[in-house]
Amino acid sequence: MKQAHPLYRKTVVKIGTNVITRKDGQLDLEVLASLTDQLAALRRQGVQVILVSSGAVGAGRAIIKQPQNLSPVAVRQVLSSTGQIRLINTYNDLFARHGLVTAQILVTKSDFRDRLHYSNMRTCFSALLQQGIIPVVNENDAVSVTELMFTDNDELSGLIASMMDAEGHIILSHVDGLFDMSEGKETLITEIDPSAKHFHQYITPTKSEFGRGGMLTKCHIAQKLSKLGITVHIANGRTPGILTRIFQGEAVGTRFLPAKAAHGPKKWIANSEGLEKGAVTVNQGAEAALLSTERANSLLPVGIESITGSFHKGDIIKICSSDGHIIGYGMAQYSSEKTLPLIGLKDQKPLVHYDYLYIKPV
């Protein structure tokens, strides 16, 4: 029985390279047409859709011969910059059949580096959605190299989902979901609770044929988003009608159930890994307090053992245990210079208030 209303009113849909690329590297126009038809139908129902699509490098492979005498980075830049034109033109033509306008947005990880850039991107996406335009997003592979690269587009789409307060995030892969292999047989895991721990130990990681992503990466992204209050689906994008079925509430693929929604700043902080300006090491007492599930605790100077790097008020800092394990990330309420003389002292203002603190999943 169909639902009267779509499951989500705002969603980010990530389409992997292997979903829309044939074995020979050519774009699979039949699959692309099916997915855009479903997205257009959702748009007609009032769903705000942001599409994050891989496939530029794969499309580039089908257009030009493999470049010779170039470094791997340069090869990727050539393939992605040529293939991206074909990819976005294909989406533009397919959505135009439904009277829909698309917008191309290419980003790098550094675009999420501070609150101002973050807010500027959010304003852009919001304006496009308000006008009924479908943003088609991809990593800017032509300039994204080494430290500028996302792990893959799963990470990018997760950042956008949290930034835009999406209700649902759908990751379309070339497999049906996550499988429990613990008893020697493949059993599809239909739901995962946000409190689940170490579930990745019984999931067989898979490697993409053309893309960079893998199922283990998808698990980590999905778990992080679910803890921020976003429902995540991992499903097979080549299954006919997959998006329609998900939005009708069918139990297809694997669904990560959401926890209580986090507020905007905490979502930004949760996705700031690698963008921190400094780090603090805390003692065992502070670590236990921060990891407590019974009450919310802020990071106080009394629990700090040492500081690494230089940071100012409003910067993101990394919080580590005494053995070097990363506990989480937070927004500093004052500078490293001001913090140094307060280390170990009681009755001081928090360096990181709970409202601006993100604890990594165990």
pLDDT for res 44: 94
Residue 54 assigned ligand-binding role: yes
Q: Is pLDDT at 17 greater than 70 in this prediction?
A: yes
84-97 b/e with 16+ CB inside 10 Å = b? bebbbebbbebbee
254 C-beta neighbours (distance < 10 Å), count: 25
Per CATH, the homologous superfamily of domain 276-359 is PUA domain (2.30.130.10)
Between CA 164 and CA 158 the distance in angstroms is 10
CA 179 centroid distance within chain: 21
Q: What is the pLDDT of residues 323-358, one digit of tens each?
A: 989 999 999 999 999 999 999 999 999 999 988 898
The annotation status of 153 as a binding-site residue, yes or no, is yes
Average pLDDT rounded to a whole number, residues 294-299: 87
Residue 138 annotated as binding? no
Q: H/E element holding 137? A: strand 134-139
Half-sphere exposure (CA, 13 Å, Cβ side) for 261?
12
Report, as an integer, the average pLDDT of 294-313. 91
Residue 283 in contact with residue 305, Cβ under 8 Å? yes
User: What region, left, alpha or beta, does residue 198 occupy, with left being phi > 0 and alpha being psi -120 to 50 degrees?
Assistant: left
**What's CA 239's distance to the chain center, in Å?**
23
Task: Give strand pairing partners of 280.
Answer: 307, 319
Which CATH entry fits the domain spanning 10-266: 3.40.50.2300, 3.20.20.80, 3.40.50.720, 3.40.1160.10?
A: 3.40.1160.10
Beta bridge partner(s), residue 255: 191, 233
Q: Where are the domains of the chain?
A: 10-266, 276-359
Instruction: Collect contacts of 93-98 with beta carbons under 8 A, ≥24 apart.
Output: 94/32, 94/33, 94/36, 95/36, 95/39, 95/40, 95/134, 97/36, 97/40, 98/36, 98/37, 98/40, 98/43, 98/44
pLDDT for res 232: 94
What is the overall mean pLDDT for the chain? 85
The top-scoring range by mean pLDDT among 56-65, 201-210, 252-261, 329-338 is 329-338
Q: 236 a known binding residue?
A: no
Measured from the Cβ of residue 42, the count of other Cβ atoms closer than 10 Å reads 21
Q: Label residue 3 by pLDDT band (50, 70, 90).
A: very low
> Quick check: 72 pLDDT over 50?
yes
The one-letter amino acid code at 261 reads: A
